[in-house]
Structure 1
Amino acid sequence: MEFMRIGARDQETPVVRVGDDHFDISSVVSDIDPAFWADGPARVTQALDTGSLPKVNVEGQRIGAPITRPSAVICIGQNYAEHAAESGDPAPEQPIIFFKTPNTITGPYDAIGIPPRAQKFDWEVELGIVIGKQAAYLESREEALDVIGGYLAANDLSERDYQSVHSGGQWSKGKCVKDSMPLGPVLVTADAIDAHDLSLSSWVNGEPRQGSSTSDMIFPVEDIVFRLSQYMQLEPGDIISTGTPKGVALSGKFPYLVPGDVSEVEIEGLGRQRQEFFQVEVPAGVGADLLLG
């Protein structure tokens, strides 16, 4: 099944997409949130079978992120060998893990603010995993596949100076800019898509940037979930962003994003995003001393 959330920010209506039709599912689930994964897909299936769901016209409406209120947004760094190489690093032997705050999540077509004094704002197309069952200390990679609820497209926007120069040894300063994790447009349940060989692409101002396949991941989806479960308890609705292929601005081959630029990312079977960027302004001098050292 394919799920979406339609409407004004923080007021979205959950819908299921069936072909070209969209059905309002708010009568059977409260939202596509952590509680949804208990029995939400089954309840939606039953309602579709009985024909009890009203159709909704999505034309002209804002499309929000297809999930809401995850307890964690977990990210995997340098999960494609060629991206690690363009970053100047060897391919990792263990998954590199960092976190983004939940307020980084935004809709796939929302405008994105570039932070004040940012110089190196970058794009990253990534496959996102949505956890469907609580998981800790999984015993096998097969068991890990069973706890995946679905998949979606993500753009892990990053400020590279914040990530490295101002990092203090960790990445989160460059990864937690508000609205820096556009998701969607759709969430596709795991039973409806094979995540092991999906094409990933990105563009800036219509020019190609990234082009690869999830088959090139160093750690495939089941390996990521299995490994993470040994170190943390994964909860329903949690998001794992699985890393990006080569072709980002960090490579030195392309300019970083500036206000007025448009980025697009697309994953086979999961849809295409589009973001236009604007400059976030703050009063002169606020925080300037923090960004000088």
Structure 2
Amino acid sequence: MRFTRRQLFRAGAGAAALGLVSPRVWAELAIGDSRVSTVSDGSLMLPGDFIFQHMPQEELATLLHQANVPRDRLQPECNVTLYQGGGNTVLFDVGSGPDFMPSAGSVVENLDAIGVAPDDVTHVVFTHAHPDHIWGLLDDFDDPVFANATYMIGRDEWDYWWDPDTVNTIGEARAAFAVGAKRRLEAIEEQIERFDDGQEILPGIAAVASYGHTPGHMSFEVRDGSTAALIAGDAIGNHHVAFRRPNWPSGSDQDAALAAQTRQALFDRMLADELSLIGFHLPNGGIGRAEKASDGYRFIQDI
């Protein structure tokens, strides 16, 4: 099954009508002298098949029952990460803005609730250019919302969305994603810096290639001495199946096989290096850690 932007938008409109918009919740984590917070951009409303269609259905049903997650409808949080340290105020992604789903697009309002204005943001760093991560870039006049920021994106991610042929090859269900990404990247073409895997993009912040969800998706390791966290974006996209069965293909990933390899590598890295985890679509603000379990991993939020 394929889903058009119109179908996804209608699902989001239904969520808004039912009063299912996420509250102004955020979580915090200290990394040395710096602080990492997550700020709500609201939530999405997605049909279950957007993720679950190609998974083993009988075993999936058992896992979803154990996690108390419905099969037919998902409402993932959207958690924008805010890093404050070393004189920098950094946003990782900018949320959906007003044009994707009415249940999302509230990050500016919720930043204001914790005393951060758009003009305070020194850097905007993109994990990838899907709508719920980049469409909040522009205001009603098509000017950047975060006017004083330096913009940063992985080189391979930029190249993919900048390619004029992407809209023709990405598939009908995601064609609007390509158009929307290109329009927003064009608006900041002269203000954006591109980086590569392993590069320290700012003091204490290093890029970690996590391809598969998109062709150039980037995660980030934030470190101060022995304290560190992984900002995973959508490389680990939920707290249930992605943890319990990281090798299963997810319909949300553009390259499902590569994304599965990436998830496993990130879990290995987090456990080996004792990294905290920050996930864009993980629950209750998205900050926690991964713990090995007999049948995969668990998302733990006791930090």
**Shorter-normalised TM range:** under 0.3
Higher helix share: 2
TM-score by length of 1: 0.23
Tell me which structure has the larger Cα radius of gyration. 1
Q: Which has the higher contact order (CA 8 A, sep 6+)?
A: 1
